[in-house]
């Protein structure tokens, strides 16, 4: 499909390959490998496989390729590589490009497993990592130096929803010759055009909004064709982080409804966040498009909408938060986000439990902080549910 189509059309059609049967829904090529017509054909394919030629599902598969093409078209990059999970995408993007002696600068406010990769794994292989406050451009400027190979950050951080100025950080990184790797899960490809703002590599956990129905783990690396096929693919195809064809099919179906789901969930999140500000049992609400957000102007500039997730600090610390979580009838206590079902999470005791209390404090993850991922339920029902649960604090 060509570039002149709008994103909503690309979400439905791009990448589709029909077999000789003309099936409407994309076929699931649930096969590990592919037969060759002759020994000569096998030899030729191992020398150079064409775009419609496959060898082994760890390297590529037609259903997975459909998803990669559609994801690249949605993100606006030349190509994409699908992975078994979001973490396989983050790990693959970084490990594929880095080697001993390289220097990386990363934002401190990262998803727990992302922090583990930059703090624990990369240094084991001789990669030097400096962590900065991602919202402070002076810290990025001071940390990036000649020899910095990559900068890494979440465009909107989890769970405190800090917004990193992508264009400004990219300018600092590019001046030093570093690549910009951005995890854009919270902003989704709909609300922030991350690659247009200067990111060289954009990674997603497709477990979140792309599937959006809590069914499967997945991830994707979106970047230039050279990065995807010459840097990421050789690493990933030999280390085994491939997405399964069945998962790719689920993700293709997810993309078809992504725009509708994410916009509806975002409208609900924005409405709930605004309504909860000033509630007597709520200390603060964090949501990028609320005027009270510390980087509200940047969030308005960089994000078309505020996203499907907001965080709130309830009164009464951990006890208050637990009473609130246990009092909800509709929103489920779990740790996914971007799901069609509303999900509520207590980061301090679950996703960020591994961190010390001091480290949590530095990231603003207080005992009363609760993350709320708005689903597709009726927002009035959700508001009534939240109000009733807040009354129990």
Ligand X SMILES: *Cc1c(COP(=O)(O)O)cnc(C)c1O
Which residues sit at the interface with ligand X, rule CB under 6 A?
Answer: 85-87, 90, 111, 113-114, 154, 158, 183, 185, 205, 207-208, 217, 219
Identity of the residue, 15 or 241, whose beta carbon is nearer to ligand X in the bound complex: 241
Q: Which residue's beta carbon is nearest to the bound ligand X?
A: 86
Determine whether 380 is exposed, middle or buried from the number of CB atoms within 10 Å of its CB (0-12, 13-18, 19+): exposed
Identity of the residue, 31 or 295, whose beta carbon is nearer to ligand X in the bound complex: 295
**Could you give the CA distance from residue 28 to residue 334 in angstroms, rounded to a whole number?**
30
**Could you give the CA distance from residue 195 to residue 76 in angstroms, rounded to a whole number?**
7
Cβ 87 to ligand X shortest distance, Å: 4
Cβ 9 to ligand X shortest distance, Å: 27
Cβ 187 to ligand X shortest distance, Å: 10
Helix spans in the chain (H): 7-13, 39-47, 62-75, 86-97, 112-116, 122-124, 137-143, 166-175, 188-191, 225-226, 233-239, 245-276, 296-302, 317-327, 357-362, 379-390
Cβ 369 to ligand X shortest distance, Å: 16
Identity of the residue, 217 or 330, whose beta carbon is nearer to ligand X in the bound complex: 217
Of all helices (H) and strands (E), which one includes residue 223?
A: strand 219-223
Identity of the residue, 306 or 320, whose beta carbon is nearer to ligand X in the bound complex: 306
Cα dist from 79 to 27, 75, 202, whole Å: 21, 9, 11
Identity of the residue, 157 or 390, whose beta carbon is nearer to ligand X in the bound complex: 157
Identity of the residue, 111 or 322, whose beta carbon is nearer to ligand X in the bound complex: 111
DSSP secondary structure letter of residue 193: -
Cβ 98 to ligand X shortest distance, Å: 18
Identity of the residue, 185 or 382, whose beta carbon is nearer to ligand X in the bound complex: 185
Cβ 317 to ligand X shortest distance, Å: 25
Identity of the residue, 359 or 384, whose beta carbon is nearer to ligand X in the bound complex: 359
CB 271 within 8 A of CB 288: no
Rounded to a whole number, what is the largest CA-CA distance in the chain?
74
> DSSP string covering 40-88, please?
HHHHHHHH---TT--SBTTT--HHHHHHHHHHHHHHT-SEEEEESSHHH
**Could you give the CA distance from residue 312 to residue 315 in angstroms, rounded to a whole number?**
10
Cβ 155 to ligand X shortest distance, Å: 9
**Could you give the CA distance from residue 174 to residue 151 in angstroms, rounded to a whole number?**
10
**Number of CB atoms found within 10 A of residue 39's CB:** 8
Which of 68, 3, 10 is CA-nearest to residue 258? 10
Identity of the residue, 305 or 389, whose beta carbon is nearer to ligand X in the bound complex: 305
Cβ 220 to ligand X shortest distance, Å: 10
CB 117 within 8 A of CB 106: no
Cα dist from 46 to 227, 244, 363, whole Å: 20, 21, 49
Identity of the residue, 244 or 282, whose beta carbon is nearer to ligand X in the bound complex: 244
Cβ 70 to ligand X shortest distance, Å: 18
Cβ 250 to ligand X shortest distance, Å: 13
């Amino acid at each position: 499909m060509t570039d002149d189509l709008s994103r909503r059309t690309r979400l439905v059609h791009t990448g589709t390959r029909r077999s000789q049967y003309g099936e409407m829904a994309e076929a699931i090529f649930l096969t590990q490998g592919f037969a060759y017509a002759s020994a000569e054909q096998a030899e030729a394919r191992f020398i150079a496989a064409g775009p419609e030629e496959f060898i082994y599902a760890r390297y590529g598969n037609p259903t997975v390729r459909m998803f990669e093409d559609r994801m690249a078209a949605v993100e606006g990059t030349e190509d994409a590589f699908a992975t078994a999970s979001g973490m396989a995408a983050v790990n693959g993007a970084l490990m594929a490009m880095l080697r001993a002696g390289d220097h990386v600068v990363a934002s401190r406010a990262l998803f727990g497993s992302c922090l583990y990769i930059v703090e624990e794994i990369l240094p084991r292989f001789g990669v030097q990592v400096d962590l900065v406050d991602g919202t402070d451009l002076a810290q990025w400027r001071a940390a990036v130096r000649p020899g910095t190979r990559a900068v890494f950050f979440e465009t909107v951080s989890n769970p405190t929803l800090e917004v990193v100025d992508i264009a400004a950080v990219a300018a600092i990184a590019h001046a030093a010759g570093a690549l910009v790797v951005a995890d854009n899960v919270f902003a989704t490809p709909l609300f922030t055009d991350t690659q247009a703002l200067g990111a060289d590599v954009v990674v997603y956990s497709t477990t979140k909004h792309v599937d959006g129905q809590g069914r499967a783990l997945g991830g994707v690396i979106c970047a230039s064709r050279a990065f995807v096929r010459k840097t990421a693919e050789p690493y990933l195809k030999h280390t085994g982080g491939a997405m399964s064809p069945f998962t790719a099919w689920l993700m293709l179906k997810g993309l078809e409804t992504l725009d509708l789901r994410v916009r509806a969930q975002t409208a609900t999140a924005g409405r709930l966040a605004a309504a909860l500000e000033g509630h007597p049992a709520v200390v603060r609400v964090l949501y990028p498009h609320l005027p009270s957000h510390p980087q509200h102007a940047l969030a308005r500039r960089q994000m078309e909408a505020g996203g499907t997730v907001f965080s709130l600090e309830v009164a009464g610390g951990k006890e208050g938060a637990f009473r609130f979580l246990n009092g909800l009838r509709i929103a489920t206590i779990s740790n996914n986000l971007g799901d069609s079902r509303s999900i509520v999470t207590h980061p301090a005791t679950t996703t960020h439990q591994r961190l010390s209390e001091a480290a949590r404090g530095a990231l603003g993850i207080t005992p009363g902080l609760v993350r709320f991922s708005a689903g597709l339920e009726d927002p009035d029902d959700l508001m009534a549910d939240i109000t009733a649960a807040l009354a129990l604090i």
